[in-house]
Homo-oligomer: A and B are copies of this chain.
């Protein structure tokens, strides 16, 4: 079975592709035998079973080229992240909304009813919600990124209801610890304040130490995406949007864990320097979501933040 992954050159996309080819996912009982990545850059996974199509995910020609008779699913991870979509409204609309629609239309035209996995975000939610946020609560995003993701959720659900695709929408928590360099996500600091100190480098925290964040490790998120892809659509019921499990941790609790894992000197490399732009976005997100239904469906959260740091250190040693 062939799977298309948009954003396959990205950190999450590449890890997802590795897991798909490692036999972690199955679609209608069949293993994944080849993957096509669609991204601006080539997919970094070195495996003969991976094909990289480089270009704009909003270009219909790319998805047409990727789709084959053996295609069983599209995993749509490509996105313009939160601060970037705030800074460049047109780019965010084109990639986060228009490309989603283009992909859905291409899937609709395919002879098989393809699984369509859409990576949404806790950023669809707005401020002032009682927490953990119940599943029925509505998106009132305070960022264009969140608005675009919320529209994508509605599209995937309507395309699923009509039988055009077999959709599944996962609202991702903030992912910590991302390796590499900071990106233009408003939540980028949440990785930086762990990753940079562990490398002996100073990091800046732009939000209040007491702010609760809804977090997941890369490992847990990728495992949950694999699980979402493998589930029978019927298990998800009529409404295909799921809050992926996470853990609620304040910035202070994150730094306490950092100190436990790496010592006071490492923790002291984090400096607080408020940034109103970042705070306006990140503080509008809930610090916890209700996940009873997803947990019942077999999705999993990390045990605690110490384990997230340990997993990051293990993964970094592997590379």
Q: Enumerate chain A interface residues (CB-CB to B < 8 A).
A: 89, 126, 129, 136-142, 144, 147, 150-151, 154-155, 157-158, 161-162, 238-239, 241
Contacts and interface: CB of A to CB of B under 8 A. Distances in A.
Given A126-B239, A151-B151, A239-B126, A158 B138 contact: no
Contacts of A144: 158, 162
A154 B162 contact: no
A80 to B, nearest CB: 14
Q: How many chain copies does the complex carry?
A: 2
Contacts of A129: 136
B157 A154 contact: no
Contacts of A241: 140
A241 B139 CA distance: 11
B141 A138 contact: no
B126 A162 contact: no
A238 B129 CA distance: 14
Contact of A89 (B137, B154, B157, B162): B162
Contacts of A158: 141, 144, 147
A94 to B, nearest CB: 12
Nearest to A86: B162
Contacts of A239: 126, 140
17 contacts: A126-B239, A136-B137, A136-B138, A137-B137, A138-B139, A140-B239, A140-B241, A141-B154, A141-B157, A142-B161, A142-B238, A144-B158, A144-B162, A147-B155, A147-B158, A150-B154, A151-B155
A202 B117 CA distance: 49
